[in-house]
Chains A and B, each alone.
Chain A
Amino acid sequence: MLTVLLILIPLVAGLVTFGLKGSGPKALGLVASLASLAVTIAALFQFRTAPDTLQLTANWIPQLGAQFSFGMDGMGLMLCLLTAISFLLIFIVIYNRDYERPNSFYGLMLLSQAGLVGVFTAYDALLFYVFWELALIPVYFLCSLWGGEKRIPVTFKFFVYTFAGSLLMLVGLIYIYLQTPDHSFSYASFISGAVAPQDQSWLFWLFFVAFAIKMPVFPFHTWQPDTYEQSPTPVTMVLSGVMVKMGLFGVIRWLLPVLPKGAYMWSDVAIVLSIIGIIYASCIAIVQSDIKRLIAYSSIAHIGLMSAAIFTNNEQSLQGVMVQLFNHGINIIGLWIIVEIIQNRLKIKNLNEMGGIAQYAPGIAIFLVIISLANIALPLTNGFIGEFLMFSGLFQYNVWFMAVAGLGIILAAVYTLNMVQKVIFGQSNGLTETTTDLKSNELLVLIIIVGMILVFGFYPKPMLELVSGTTELVNKVY
């Protein structure tokens, strides 16, 4: 019941928001995201005591064998939590920003939240596909209506690219559906092992490309830096913090259990692509002068590590990935919030024009440093635990893969510290001297983020326990 409520709250609130005026959309957005968070936390408690009550199945299209089947496991719950927290933080931080047509803006944001939660909770392949697309559409409108100068071609590319991937996945879904003994889209029949091994080999690519575009994995990533750069920053936060997790989630929830042999067959290729992506994106990040593009490439590198770790067929790394899904989301949203604040104050994105902000806005500086350190996985921040486990799994899969991927740690330090230095350290200039420090809502959001960074960095046990059930399930099938 709670699961459905989690989708309905943002969906209904989003639709209602379209009709509101003035500051109504802001308020409703805030209330709806708070309510979502509350429901998610309630679900978290229920998951501990009675996990079965989170499942819900109802008839949808019986002729096709498609059902409204929602449910939550540890990973889904954690991603729902990430979604709820992210949207709440985003709504708080943009509370005193003004967007044109706020009703549409907030409405679309809430609709995308509904789509995301749907993706994370759907236990029916067709339903999953529907939500997969549903989450994309509002984001398309958000980018193309409120984006930067080059928003139209960039958003078009983003949409067509991801949509092409989705269609490949749809073909795969239908093929598997036809193979299932009871002609059903339900998760249980999909993972029952009905797909012949030789089919799994090519089906793997249909799914992998769809998910790889979403993540994105090298060489399917070129939509991402442009889109992150051109989107309005709140949308970039949704995209990089939550939406790219759809791809990784898809691999863990659907690809590995449904096509275990295919994944096993192609794991080397997938890992090599991911590792190339790590090094490649890290190198490019070093020479970026646009802060948004720098963070975009840094995100590609981090996602590359996660995607490599998924295919190692190792319990530790899978657990690491799932923990990192959440932690990477928090960290990258934190970074974007800093970017949003700097852009709000200075209206620039070029790193070379910044500098010396630490003297005038020490608050921004401190938070940027802490979040950057979490981004480069310093121990006792939340980024460490996931990366440690992922690297450990990768090492057990192949030592040399890990050694090459490990270079990413060094390169990450280079580009992240470069960014920190250029933004907050050094001499100030006429522009950066005008920087005003954090406002109370921004401070609140950043304190929450840093709090999570430190708490989960010091004590990651609850998170690891939450996802361990999912690991066991995947490992059993895989």
Chain B
Amino acid sequence: MIHLVWLVPFLPLLGFLVNGLGRRYLSKSLAGIVGSGAVLAAFVISLLIFLEVKTPGFQAQVVPLFDFISAGSLHIPFAFQVDQLSALFLLIITGVGSLIHIYSTSYMHDESSEGFARYFAYLNLFVFSMLILVLGANYVMMFIGWEGVGLCSYLLIGFWFKNTNYNNAAKKAFVMNRIGDLGFLLGIFTMIVHFGSVSFPEVFERAAALGEGSKVIPVIAILLFVGAAGKSAQLPLYTWLPDAMAGPTPVSALIHAATMVTAGIYMIARSNILYTLAPSIQTIVAVIGLATAVLAATIALKQDDIKKVLAYSTVSQLGYMFLALGVGAYTTAVFHVMTHAFFKALLFLGSGSVIHAMGGEQNINKMGGLKKYMPVTHVTFLIGCLAIAGIPGLSGFFSKDEILAETFISNKLMYAIALITALMTAFYMFRLYYITFCGKFRGTHEQEHHLHESPAAITIPLIILAVLSVVGGYIGLPEVLGHSVLKEYLAPVFAPSAPFVHAHEHLSHNTEWLLMGLSSLLVIITIFFARSWYRNYEDNGEPRTGIAKVLENKWYVDELYDAIIVKPLMMLSRFFEEAIEKSGIDRLVNGVGRGVHWGSQQVRLLQSGQVGFYIFAMVIGMVVLFVIGFLLK
């Protein structure tokens, strides 16, 4: 089965080609079937591959397809690598991807059939790129997928291209990602120079041979992390992700919550040895992850757009994952990627269902009391909120609690901040839930009249994701409760770094129970707080003041970037254009021309027309030549 792995990305590519080329001729249902079918088929193959990989003792396999680049001493094959990590990501991508494709067939039904096919073509292209990203057997392949998903994100954020704001958001996402990509590229070049290769096994082997204390590895690690920070929306490159919510909601669920933004985590988990060997960089990763988590969580507290809340929540959760990576808990980070994919996709799709019912309205102040109109959406959304908040028994609880426990081992202060962030998460999620689903309906009568539960194509994915959000955590049970299947499964991937990990203390079972109990208790108290404040929420329409206003305006980070980067760049460009190009270089060049012109005009005066003068000049000239000739002799 492994040798058929090329089919996994190929099927979505085929779907892209069919939908893209035939967008004028395909009916909506056909386009939907082609789009969803391609991903679903890829899921089935992924599942078969996964079953094969899951057998104990499976060794990573590289499937070469053809020579991509071979220049001088550099050889980069177009090859796929199948191992435990990529197989798991395959499942997440194609699994959640299929659900979202199915969901989209209903959600995007109002588009023209051409737009509908275009949408599915982009979505399939995205799945293709994402699969290339996780399947690539070397960093260049990963980079191909990396930029590919960036492109699809650009295309899908700007899907409704008539809206200039959406286009600006798309452009911002692409450019910010490119900043990260430059770091990634520099990291690749450093590898080429120092390791002479970009393929995973060779790089890791040579890095391990260098061991700790090498100067190269931290450089590579930090450069790759710049790339990861761009793609996974970490400080300081996170501002594109909330803006990216301009895209259709299923896109936000798939790309900007479940899959693409976790590429950074995949990359660092994949390169775990590089980070294990560079503890200083690990600390940076952890600090940036934590800072992002806190910052985004504070912003999420005061957002009124349902998707913006979820977007900042995503940024915050991604920060959590980087925190886990930073403290060396690679398995935990991947675990959280998985559970987050389930409940965040669920929440986004649920919000999509709400937005659909509200006729495109996204402001939660205009909603309220939706639970009696949309029972399925309501229940599933509640499950999502409970999962992300970390209520014991649901998937989010296990993964988040493990991150907290690992942080506790590594640094107590970080643990405290992470715990507060977790409480903020619970608070803003339930604020969102209560404002949206409880209380009175605050929209217009017309909207109220139209409120309805969404069709089956929307609710079935919601139900499946809700089930996964509940049970997904049981593959990673903490030690006190039993046995982590995931840890055992992923062990071979992180085996290379094992020898270099400093044997750190294990938490005693009592401490672990205590931490778990503490966080659960605090979360439940927070939820009750949120309930008492927002259960009967009335929008008084007063503008916010003080800190709330700062939070509503996202700490003014966008404005800050505008002032320190965008405006100076524009000024510099104008300066180049006006001062240097037009009045500087070009004037100089034209000045040479004008100088020659002026000089010629002066010399022209010698041509007086007096024959006598000419002859005189001639004689003088000859005499001068004779004299020079004489002197030179």
- Per-position 1/0 for A309-321, Cβ under 8 A of B: 0000011100110
Which of the 9-residue segments B186-194, B555-563, B611-619 touches chain A?
B186-194
Nearest Cβ on chain A to B65's Cβ, whole angstroms: 10
Contact B185 A425 (CB under 8 A): no
Q: Is the CB of B186 within 8 A of A406?
A: yes
A410 touches B178 (CB 8 A): yes
Which one of A64-72, A85-93, A384-392 is at the interface?
Answer: A384-392
Q: Which of B72, B162, B163, B586 contacts A222 (CB 8 A)?
A: B586
Contact of A410 among B69, B74, B182, B186 (CB under 8 A): B182
CB contacts (< 8 Å) of A356 on chain B: these are: 162
Per-residue 0/1 for A342-370: is the Cβ within 8 Å of any B Cβ (1 yes, 0 no)? 00000000000000101100100000000
Alpha-carbon separation in the docked complex, A380 to B145 (Å): 9
**CB-CB under 8 A for A391 and B189, given A406-B182, A409-B181:** yes
Known: A459-B66, A464-B70. A427 touches B162 (CB 8 A): yes
Residue A141, interface by CB 8 Å: no
Report the bound CA distance from A320 to B589 in whole Å: 32
State the CA gap A161–B71 with chains docked (Å). Answer: 36
Q: Contacting chain A: which of B28-36, B488-496, B513-521, B574-582? A: B574-582
CA distance A428 to B69 in the complex (A): 42
Of the stretches A267-275, A332-340, A413-421, the one at the interface is A413-421
Q: Can you sample 20 A-B contacts with CB below 8 Å?
A: A222-B581, A222-B586, A284-B573, A287-B574, A287-B577, A316-B72, A316-B74, A373-B151, A378-B147, A378-B148, A389-B69, A396-B189, A417-B171, A417-B175, A418-B171, A421-B167, A425-B161, A427-B162, A460-B68, A461-B69
A157 CB-CB contact with B under 8 Å: yes
Least Cβ distance of A224 to chain B in Å? Answer: 11
With both chains docked as a complex, state the minimum distance between the C-beta of A288 and any C-beta of chain B, in angstroms: 8
A378 to B148, CA, bound (A): 8
| B66 and A461 contact, CB distance less than 8 A | yes
Do A157 and B175 touch (CB < 8 A)? Answer: no
Query: Are A319 and B71 in contact, CB atoms less than 8 angstroms apart?
Result: yes
Q: How far is the CA of A202 from the CA of B170 in the complex (A)?
A: 50
- Given A418-B171, A425-B167, A426-B167, 5 other A-B contacts at CB below 8 A? A280-B580, A392-B192, A410-B178, A413-B178, A464-B70
Q: A116 within 8 Å of B by Cβ?
A: no
From A222, A319, A396, give the contact of B589 (CB < 8 A): A222
Query: Is B158 close to A, CB under 8 A?
Result: yes
A315-B185 in contact (CB<8A):
no
Residue A407 lies at the interface, judged by CB distance under 8 Å to chain B: yes
In contact, A316 and B151 (Cβ under 8 angstroms): no
A283 within 8 A of partner (CB): yes
Complex contacts, B627 vs chain A, CB 8 Å: none
Which B residues are in CB contact (< 8 Å) with A284?
Answer: 573, 576-577, 581
Report the minimal beta-carbon distance from A284 to chain B, rounded to whole angstroms: 5
B71→A320 contact, CB < 8 A: yes
Tell me the residues in window 114-161 of chain B with beta carbons closer than 8 Å to chain A beta carbons: 114, 140, 143-144, 147-148, 151, 154, 158, 161
Check B564 for interface membership: any CB of A closer than 8 A: no
Contacts of B144 in A (CB 8 A): 379-380
Task: Decide yes or no whether A196 CB sits under 8 A from chain B.
Answer: no
Report, nearest first, the 6 A-B pairs whose CB atoms are least far apart: A315-B72, A395-B189, A379-B144, A283-B573, A425-B161, A222-B586
Query: Cβ of B540 < 8 Å from any Cβ of A?
Result: no
Per DSSP, chain A at the interface is helix
Q: Does A160 contact B (CB under 8 A)?
A: yes
Bound CA–CA A424/B161 (angstroms): 9
Please determine whether B193 and A396 come into contact, CB atoms closer than 8 angstroms. yes
Q: Is A286 interfacial (CB 8 A cutoff)? A: yes
- A56 and B570 CA atoms in complex are apart in Å by 54
B51 at the interface (CB under 8 A from A): no
* Residue B606 is within 8 A (CB to CB) of chain A in the complex: no
Known: A389-B71, A396-B193, A417-B174. A283 touches B148 (CB 8 A): no
Interface string of A445-478 (1 = CB under 8 A from B): 0000000000000011100100010010000000
CB of A403 within 8 A of CB of B573, answer no
Query: B164 in the interface, Cβ–Cβ < 8 Å?
Result: yes
A219 at the interface (CB under 8 A from B): yes
B586 and chain A: residue at smallest CB distance: A222
Q: Is the CB of B71 within 8 A of A283?
A: no
Judging by beta carbons under 8 Å apart, are B178 and A409 in contact? yes
Minimal Cβ-Cβ distance residue in A for B165: A426
List the A side residues contacting B66 at CB < 8 Å.
Answer: 459, 461
Q: How far is the CB of A298 from chain B (nearest CB, A)?
A: 13
Q: Is A402 an interface residue (CB 8 A)?
A: yes
- Complex partner residue of B175 from A160, A161, A319, A414, CB under 8 angstroms: A414
Give a binary string over B187-209; 1 marks a CB under 8 Å from any A CB, 0 the rest. 00110110000000000000000
**B446 contacts the other chain (CB 8 A):** no
Q: How many contacting A-B pairs (Cβ < 8 A)?
A: 134
Q: Is the interface of B mostly helix, strand, loop or mixed?
A: helix
On chain A, the residues within 8 Å of B186 by CB distance are: 395, 399, 402-403, 406
Which residues of A are found within 8 Å of B161, using beta-carbon distances? 358, 424-426
Give the B interface residue count (CB, 8 A): 52
Kindly provide the distance from the CB of A153 to the nearest chain B CB, expressed in whole angstroms. 9
* Residues of chain A lying within 8 A (CB to CB) of residue B147: 378-379
Closest to A408 in B: B182
Q: Which residues of B contact A403 (CB under 8 A)?
A: 186
Contact residues in B for A407 (Cβ distance below 8 Å): 182
With a CB–CB cut-off of 8 A, which chain B residues contact A288? 577
B118 to chain A, nearest CB (A): 9
User: What residues on A are CB-neighbors of B590 within 8 Å?
Assistant: 157
Q: Does B179 have its Cβ within 8 Å of any Cβ on chain A?
A: yes
Complex CA distance for A283 and B581, rounded to whole angstroms: 11
B525 at the interface (CB under 8 A from A): no
Interface: B625 (CB within 8 A): no
Q: Which B residues are CB-close (under 8 A) to A359?
A: 162
Q: Please name all residues of chain B whose beta carbon is closer than 8 Å to the beta carbon of A413 when the two chains form the complex.
A: 174-175, 178
Contacts of A389 in B (CB 8 A): 69, 71, 74
Find chain A residues with CB under 8 A from B573 CB. 283-284, 286-287
Q: Is the CB of A319 within 8 A of B574?
A: no
Q: How far is the CB of B199 from chain A (nearest CB, A)?
A: 15
Q: Bound state CA distance, A388 and B175, in angstroms?
A: 18
Bound-complex Cα distance A305 to B73 (A): 22
Which residue of chain B has the shortest Cβ distance to A403 in the bound complex?
B186
B64 at the A/B interface (Cβ < 8 Å)? Answer: no
Of A379, A385, A402, A468, which one neighbours B148 at CB under 8 angstroms? Answer: A379
Neighbouring A residues of B158 by C-beta, 8 Å:
425
User: Nearest-CB distance from B19 to chain A (Å)?
Assistant: 13
Q: How far is the CA of A376 from the CA of B140 in the complex (A)?
A: 17
B189 contacts which of A320, A392, A425 (Cβ < 8 Å)?
A392
Q: Is the CB of B67 within 8 A of A461?
A: yes
User: How many angstroms from the CA of A396 to the CA of B576 in the assembled complex?
Assistant: 30
Judge whether A421 and B569 touch: CB under 8 Å.
Answer: no
Contacts of B589 in A (CB 8 A): 157, 161, 222-223
For A388, the chain B residues whose CB sits under 8 A away are 69, 140, 185
Contact call B193/A395, Cβ cutoff below 8 A:
yes
Report the separation of the CA atoms of residues A396 and B72 in the bound assembly, to the nearest whole angstrom: 13
Q: Which residues of the other chain, B, contact A406 by a CB distance below 8 angstroms? A: 182, 185-186
CA distance A391 to B572 in the complex (A): 25
Q: Which residue of B lies closest to A395 (CB)?
A: B189
Q: Chain B, 402-415, contact with A by CB distance < 8 Å: what is the 0/1 string?
A: 00000000000000
Asked if B167 and A316 make an inter-chain contact with CB atoms under 8 angstroms apart, the answer reads no
User: A380 to B68, alpha carbons, bound, how many Å?
Assistant: 10
Instruction: Name the B residues within 8 Å of A380 (CB-CB).
Output: 144, 148
Instruction: Return B600 CB to nearest CB of chain A, in Å.
Output: 13
Residues of A within 8 A of B175 (CB): 410, 413-414, 417
Q: Which residues of A contact B360 (CB under 8 A)?
A: none
Within 8 A of A (CB), among B53-94: 66-74
Verify if B593 is at the interface (C-beta below 8 Å from A).
yes
CB atoms of A160 and B68 under 8 A apart:
no
How many Å from the CB of A467 to the closest CB on chain B? Answer: 9
**How long is the Cα–Cα vector from A399 to B183 in the complex, in angstroms?**
12
From A415, which residue of chain B is reached at the shortest CB distance?
Answer: B573
Given contact pairs A222-B581, A379-B148, A426 touches B164 in the complex (Cβ within 8 A): yes
